[in-house]
Amino acid sequence: GDGIFINTAGVGVVAGDRTISPTEVQVGDVVLVNGDIGRHGIAIMAVREGLMFETAIESDSAPVAEEVLSLLEAGIEVHCLRDLTRGGLASALNEIAVAANLGIRLDERAIAVRDDVQGACEILGFDPLYLANEGRFVAFVPPDQVQAALECLGDGAAEIGVVTETSKPPVTMMSEIGSLRTVDLLSGEQLPRIC
């Protein structure tokens, strides 16, 4: 080859002997997110396209290892974890639901989207559920461990949904006005690939 080749590898230790995977998700599990969503996608797009908003929208980019280790060290029975980078919250949850062969019901009122991000999405025609995030992840935990898990995750973490029996479509969301909305996988890309 006559170009630059970059290889990235992760080296680490598997923490504990538990399996954390979509196949471990169970009916009744609660879906938690560690903060507001959509900031990274809007922040990157604003820089790329030279867009200016009333407030500076900064990326949510942050390491998540400390929060994840906090969950594990507290003995939380984490069934599944997934970062919300590519495809955002909606894509991650659809992939998990399909792999687990279960449904997920979200509550729109519980999903934090900052007002400036929501405003930018409305102007640009984006849905924050599909925007990339760099410091956000979802965790699936049993209902009796939700409070302890939220304490591990700290400010901004929230309970946003619950796992249900298999459903078609696999992911639905109760809207702010009380209607049930399908949350599909995104067809194509909402934004050009960020990283």
* Alpha-carbon gap, residue 125 to 122, rounded angstroms: 5
CA geometry: angle at 45 spanning 39 and 48, to 5°? 140
SS3 content of the chain, % helix, strand, coil (to 5): 30, 15, 50
Average pLDDT over residues 121-131: 89
pTM (2 decimals)? 0.87
pLDDT at 41: 83
* Alpha-carbon gap, residue 38 to 126, rounded angstroms: 10
Q: Which of 45-49, 59-63, 69-73 has the highest mean pLDDT?
A: 69-73
* Alpha-carbon gap, residue 140 to 132, rounded angstroms: 20
CATH number of 22-182: 3.90.650.10
Beta bridge partners of 83: 137
* Alpha-carbon gap, residue 99 to 193, rounded angstroms: 24
Q: Which of 2-16, 56-70, 142-156 has the highest mean pLDDT?
A: 142-156
pLDDT at 76 over 60: yes
Half-sphere exposure of 23 (CA within 13 A, CB side): 2
| Residue closest to 86 by CA, chosen among 158, 192, 176 | 192
Q: Where are the domains of the chain?
A: 22-182
pLDDT at 10: 75
